[in-house]
Amino acid sequence: MSTIIAVENFKIKGKHGVFDFEREKFQPFIVSIWVKLKSPAANDELDSSVDYGFLQRTAHDVIARGDSVHMMETLCQQIIEIISGHLNVGTIKVRIEKPDAPMPHDGGLALVEMFWPEGSTF
């Protein structure tokens, strides 16, 4: 039996992007994080699982409070670095969407998904 803990479609504002103007004002990011537990939660105790509040706080701290970066890949890596330190985390998937990303044509959604450990899937 596998257990997945997740936070989906968490909207956060941050100052990140390749272009200088993207790092000058807050813009929306939408973050989803899925974590597969190494072992099932036990005895109805939160300590035996992963608190989805921890996932949400991690995304918020990286995107809203962290240093401005150029790429969403870097944000994903920073989130994974923190979450992978949890004792009961076996696999992580992070998805970051940037709805207002500057692109040459109308339409489309800029996003990055990253898995940990490398090669894992959900």
Residue 83's domain is classified under what CATH number? 3.30.1130.10
pLDDT digits (tens, 9 = 90+) for 52-106: 999 999 999 999 999 999 999 999 999 999 999 999 999 999 999 999 999 999 9
- Asked, for residue 87, whether it belongs to a domain, the answer is yes
pLDDT band at 119 (very low <50, low <70, confident <90, very high): confident
Phi and psi at residue 110, in whole multiples of 5°?
-80, 130
For the record, the structure tokens of 106 come out as 């109308």
Amino acid at 94: V
CA–centroid distance for 39 within its chain? 22
Total domains in the fold of the chain: 1
pLDDT for the residue 1: 75
pLDDT for the residue 19: 95
Report d(CA 5, CA 65) in Å as an integer.
24
- Asked, for residue 121, whether it belongs to a domain, the answer is no
Question: In terms of Cα–Cα distance, which of 84, 113, 82 is closest to 96?
Answer: 113
pTM: 0.95
pLDDT for the residue 33: 98
- Asked, for residue 37, whether it belongs to a domain, the answer is yes
- Asked, for residue 26, whether it belongs to a domain, the answer is yes
DSSP E strand boundaries for the chain? 4-14, 27-37, 89-98, 110-116
pLDDT digits (tens, 9 = 90+) for 3-21: 999 999 999 999 999 999 9
In 3-state terms the chain splits into helix, strand, coil percentages (rounded to 5) of 25, 30, 40
Tell me the residue range of the domain where 18 lies. Answer: 4-116
pLDDT band at 41 (very low <50, low <70, confident <90, very high): confident
- Asked, for residue 122, whether it belongs to a domain, the answer is no
- Asked, for residue 21, whether it belongs to a domain, the answer is yes
For the record, the structure tokens of 76 come out as 């994903």
Report d(CA 77, CA 10) in Å as an integer.
17
